[in-house]
Amino acid sequence: MTDSPLSPPTLANERARRRESFLHGYIPPRDPVVDPSVVFHRETDPVDAVSFEVIRSKLWNLNLDHGDTIRRISGSHIVVEGYDFNCAIASEIGDAVTLCPYSMFFAGFADEVIKWTLEHRSMNVGIRDGDVFLQDDPWIGSNHAMDTAVFGPVFVEGKLFAWLFNCVHQRELGGTRPGGFIQEARDCHSEPTFMPPIKLVENDVIREDVADAWTRRSRLPELMALELKSQVAGFRMARERLLALVARYGARAIKGTMNKMVDDTARVVGARLASLPDAVWRDERYVSGANPGDRRLFKLVLVFEKRGDRLRVSNVGTDPATGSFNVTPGVFRAAVLNGLLPVLAFDQMLCAAGVLRQVDFEFARGSITAASHPSAVGTSMSSVATVGHAHGLGSKMVSGHEELARHAFASSAMHTMSTTAPSWRDARGNLVGDAILDMLAGGTGAFAHRDGIDFGGCTFAVANRMSDVEKAEQHIPLLYLFRRELAASGGHGRFRGGVTYSCAWVGHGEGSESAAMHATGFAKSVTMGQGIAGGFPGTGGYHWHATDTGIQRELAEGRVPGSPEALRALAPHGEYLGLRQDNRLSRDDLFELLPNPGAGWGDTLEREATLVAADVAAERLSFAQAESLYGVVLKPDGGPDLAATAARREALRRERLEQARPPRAPLAGVSSKASAVARALEGVAIHGGAGERSLACAGCGQRLGAGSAGYRRGCCELELPLGEIGSEFLSPADEIGEALCLRRYLCPGCGSVLDAEVCRPQDEPSLDLQLLD
């Protein structure tokens, strides 16, 4: 994003800057311009090490208690059980000092919302003690209109000392469909109406006119009124606790601790960045599903340019905004932050401001991941995708670093976003909607040193939970038929991804005669669940639906179909769904969801033979897969035959090279492993000094390319159609009419898999790595 013509920002051009933020989104400047009526508390005292740890811990727990207060009062299971919210404590100027481990990118835009309010509400309507603001404008800082921020200042001795922030997914705020996920939307005018920051509480009294205006647009106004009150109560509890800490330890000590948390995180993140080679890492991923019936492929591009102790993030190259799956620049920024936290700041208590101090952003204005108004932004799809995209590229960036790689992992649950949102007419005839959160509990991606976590969940919400079966059945007119582990679903690799499960529902009880399940999210055959270091992807999952099945007869006779295979036998006419609303879920209808498993890490031929044998014993692999994919020959007793395994693996490497496309830019010669100065990726080493660096296989030393040209064109390429990876993978050719493949890049010397990508067969190798001078 180029500098605004309104730079530099001043109080005189505040109104013009506000209009620009409504159109193209708000990104906080380094120094927000605030009306002088706001006096900041900036005085600090040095804090000793013990006091720092005590106060930091109390701030962390205060923030968790803020969230617990919201949960205790909220009437929404999405909040109470699903933890689809977050809280933050921010400095006087809005820098987020700590977040909760819930939906982390919700609090990732806390600084954007607070700084916008400082810049554009300090002149009119003013910011005073006893104020609380309300907002859900995506171009200010909200994932979509349903994600509602309630936030306000905390004053000490008449000066603005800090801000407290919460953001909650409110279940029903209007729009053309219950729940607000409008996948057929072409622009934001079909989605729930949103509001920029407005004063909800003044002099500690809720403004009834604002609260009424907020809840009036909802199909569930009483629930939304309760949601607002829960958020205000959480804020008030947190403010009371923060002022108690100030009274106990002193304002200067609390402020000193907050500043030190940010400074320490920035120093640690900067040092970790400085320990990586100066390079550009780039990742291109295809997505599909902009609107129901739209079968086109679109490209998301993410670029990390690392120089010294700083990281520059860009989405340049991403396709223009289209359909319903766009996000605003501020949400892209928050999602990238979310993805980087577990890679670069895993031990920093979710101090967002410290990470952001080391990161610069460049936006392709008007693109899918930096959309301008009035693009449709309500489905959450590209925000969730960006979290996974950023985390995946960050994990790849550190994969060659011995220490940092241990904290990286491959794509995890929700990498190819799926939502299941039932709707029905209640006893009064009102059309209402809800959400089932089973998609959150897929597998975690594989690590560099261990397998992924089965049902470990997703990167953007590490503390969120899947739906409770009994509670879902209480308030939604359906029954669960099963939740069944799919033991072989994890992505293959040296370490395999965590497995997922399948779950299925049937309509049941009052309201089921009008019930429908809305199948939304990305096209499932176009997986975004990419592996690391050549690991296999995880499937994008699927939605399966069948009507008029005779399930009630089966249940009446005491037979419950308990697996995907049983469903197919009962309803052979069932179908895998594309993006489709209003899938009937009456008493004889069935709906099945397969959430995303984790992707794999590394070459399958490098997995320990004993682990493969254990996988076969646990029915995670068949005997045939053990030999064909992993090169492990098993004895009759199930143990590995090590001599036969070594021979089989050597033969498979030769077969790979024979079947693969030759290098597009072959390079002769072998570099001595001893001459490697660093690793740019787990399998790609850097050789040479400044101005003449080159890339080579880290295993055998085979030269692959100059540092500025990358390594992929020096590799052999082995392609496998996505639909042939496993039974859980749908065919892109069937769903979207385009062929996609898993392309693995092989060292032409030893046949090891160095990296992989999902692409079209006709695509040129993308330049995923480029060394900088």
DSSP string, 694-732: EEEETTT-BEEEETTT-SGGGSEEEEEEGGGS-TTPPPH
* Secondary structure letter of residue 660 according to DSSP: S
pLDDT grade, residue 512 (50/70/90)? very high
With beta carbons less than 8 A apart as the criterion, state whether 622 and 557 touch.
no
pLDDT grade, residue 4 (50/70/90)? low
| CA nearest neighbour of 382 among 325, 444, 322, 302 | 325
Q: How far apart are CA 316 and CA 67, in angstroms?
A: 36
pLDDT at 674: 86
pLDDT at 580: 74
Q: What is the pLDDT of residues 15-57, one digit of tens each?
A: 999 999 999 999 999 889 999 999 999 999 999 999 999 999 9
pLDDT at 114: 98
HSE-up of residue 554 (Cα within 13 Å, Cβ side): 19
* Secondary structure letter of residue 620 according to DSSP: S
What does the pLDDT average to over 445-470?
93
* Residues 572/577/580/585 CA torsion (nearest 10 deg): 40
With beta carbons less than 8 A apart as the criterion, state whether 771 and 689 touch.
no
Q: Torsion-angle region of residue 350: left (phi > 0), alpha (psi -120 to 50) or beta?
A: left
Residues contacting 512, CB < 8 A, separation 6+: 424, 477, 478, 585, 586, 587
* Secondary structure letter of residue 9 according to DSSP: P
- Work out the percent of the chain whose per-residue pLDDT is above 90: 88
Q: How far apart are CA 319 and CA 314, in angstroms?
A: 13
Q: What b/e readout covers 194-225, taking b as 16+ CB neighbours within 10 angstroms?
A: bbbbbbbbeeeeebeebbeebbeebbbeebbb
pLDDT grade, residue 637 (50/70/90)? very high
pLDDT grade, residue 107 (50/70/90)? confident
Bridge partners of 521, per DSSP, are 418
Task: Judge residue 764's burial from the number of C-beta atoms within 10 Å of its C-beta, 0-12 exposed, 13-18 middle, 19 or more buried.
Answer: exposed
Residue 129 has pLDDT above 60, yes or no: yes
| CA nearest neighbour of 336 among 439, 460, 472 | 460
Task: Judge residue 482's burial from the number of C-beta atoms within 10 Å of its C-beta, 0-12 exposed, 13-18 middle, 19 or more buried.
Answer: middle
Q: In what order do the strands lie in the sheet with 542-546?
A: 478-486, 500-507, 590-594, 542-546, 575-576
pLDDT at 28: 95
pLDDT at 205: 98
Residues contacting 253, CB < 8 A, separation 6+: 45, 47, 51, 55
- 3-class SS of residue 209: helix
pLDDT grade, residue 60 (50/70/90)? very high
Residue 47: both structure tokens together: 């804090």
Residue 77 has pLDDT above 90, yes or no: no
What does the pLDDT average to over 341-361?
98
| CA nearest neighbour of 259 among 55, 110, 107, 108 | 55
Residue 267: both structure tokens together: 């120093």
Q: What b/e readout covers 573-611, taking b as 16+ CB neighbours within 10 angstroms?
A: ebebbbbbbebbbbbbbbbbbbbbbbbbbbbbbbbebeb
pLDDT at 438: 94
pLDDT at 7: 75
Q: Torsion-angle region of residue 492: left (phi > 0), alpha (psi -120 to 50) or beta?
A: beta
End-to-end CA distance of the chain: 25
Residue 212 — φ and ψ, nearest 5°? -65, -40
pLDDT at 100: 96
Q: What is the pLDDT of residues 468-482, one digit of tens each?
A: 999 899 989 999 999
**Residue 135 is which amino acid?**
Q
pLDDT at 5: 60
Q: How far apart are CA 599 and CA 533, in angstroms?
A: 11
Q: Which helix (H) or strand (E) holds 172?
A: none
Residue 660: both structure tokens together: 């693969």
Give the least confident one: 474-488, 523-537, 639-653, 684-698.
684-698
Residue position matching structure tokens 């969230």: 67
Q: How far apart are CA 172 and CA 181, in angstroms?
A: 10
What does the pLDDT average to over 116-128?
97
Q: What is the pLDDT of residues 377-425, one digit of tens each?
A: 998 889 999 999 999 999 999 999 999 999 999 999 999 998 898 999 9
Most confident of 292-301, 393-402, 617-626: 393-402
Average pLDDT, the chain: 95
Residue 1 has pLDDT above 60, yes or no: no
Residue 305: both structure tokens together: 């340019």
How many C-beta atoms surround the C-beta of residue 51 within 10 A?
A: 15
Residue 579 has pLDDT above 80, yes or no: no
How many C-beta atoms surround the C-beta of residue 12 within 10 A?
A: 9
Residues contacting 202, CB < 8 A, separation 6+: 128, 130, 131
* Sign, CA torsion 661/667/673/677: negative
pLDDT grade, residue 156 (50/70/90)? very high
Q: How far apart are CA 134 and CA 211, in angstroms?
A: 10
Q: How far apart are CA 773 and CA 766, in angstroms?
A: 20
What does the pLDDT average to over 453-468?
90
Q: How far apart are CA 137 and CA 378, in angstroms?
A: 11
pLDDT grade, residue 513 (50/70/90)? very high
| CA nearest neighbour of 667 among 608, 624, 709, 606 | 709
Q: How far apart are CA 133 and CA 351, in angstroms?
A: 23
Q: How far apart are CA 618 and CA 612, in angstroms?
A: 10
Helix axes 110-121, 14-24, angle to 10 degrees: 150
Q: Torsion-angle region of residue 266: left (phi > 0), alpha (psi -120 to 50) or beta?
A: alpha
